[in-house]
Amino acid sequence: MDQEEYGRYLLSLMEEEEPDEDTVVEAEELFGFFQMFMPEGDGVEAIFEPLEDGDTYLKRITPIYTMLDPADFAGDTVPGYFNAERVEASGETLIGYGRQFIEGLKELLNEDEEVSAYLAAIQHIELLPPGQIAAIRQLSDADVYEALFDVVSQGRDFEEPIDILGEAYYSIACDYWISYYLQWPRFGLKGDPLAPYFELYRRGYSAVFSEGGLFIGAHA
């Protein structure tokens, strides 16, 4: 199944009628696609059934549904993104994820001298009170973000079927690093450096590199 055929297959999961054979589906049309299976992920396995490594991607995506509270979907309005409620965690646990995150990125980006030096020079991991991470994000250091984008882009095959889900993956949390984590096996890169970042996200926290340090905080 090529990318165009896979796009039509995905469209068929959204609509009652099968799309025409000449229908071309653009990635932007699938923004919010994973939200169709909220809150418990019932039927999400159908997305990956045609893919050779479908089980791998299904295993990655399943935990985002366990973050959700079905009670939030009982009213007239429902959440539009996969935002976890903050789970109480010790400072030691959160900082531990931060250290793992830094070490994983060091290994992945070790050929970039500038970024390697930046990561090696980090002296502190700071825990923020709830709600303050958004302000820190406005002051984030761009080097790590750009370097990670570059290595992911180099490993990305724009023609493979799953590439059409790029916007759908991004729309899960409007966070490229969560998107990268969920697609990581396709990039052919070593390790799993974004796993600690994902674990923070699942607990309602985010991590931001800023002013030579790593800041961790809950959104609310």
Residues 12-36, buried b or exposed e (16+ Cβ, 10 A)?
eeeeeeebeeeeebebebbeebbbe
Quote the mean pLDDT of the chain.
93
- Provide the sign of the torsion angle of the four alpha carbons 67, 199, 217, 91, taken in this order: positive
Asked if the model's pLDDT at residue 59 lies above 80, the reply is yes
CA distance 29 to 139: 32
CA distance 153 to 95: 29
**Global pTM?**
0.94
Q: Which residue in this structure is represented by tokens 């089980």?
A: 55
Residue 12's alpha-carbon distances to 5, 19, 35, 53, in angstroms, are 11, 6, 16, 21
pLDDT single digits (tens) 72-114:
888 888 888 898 888 888 999 999 999 999 999 999 999 999 9
Q: Provide the pairing of β-strand 125-127 with 205-210.
A: unpaired
Asked if the model's pLDDT at residue 57 lies above 70, the reply is yes
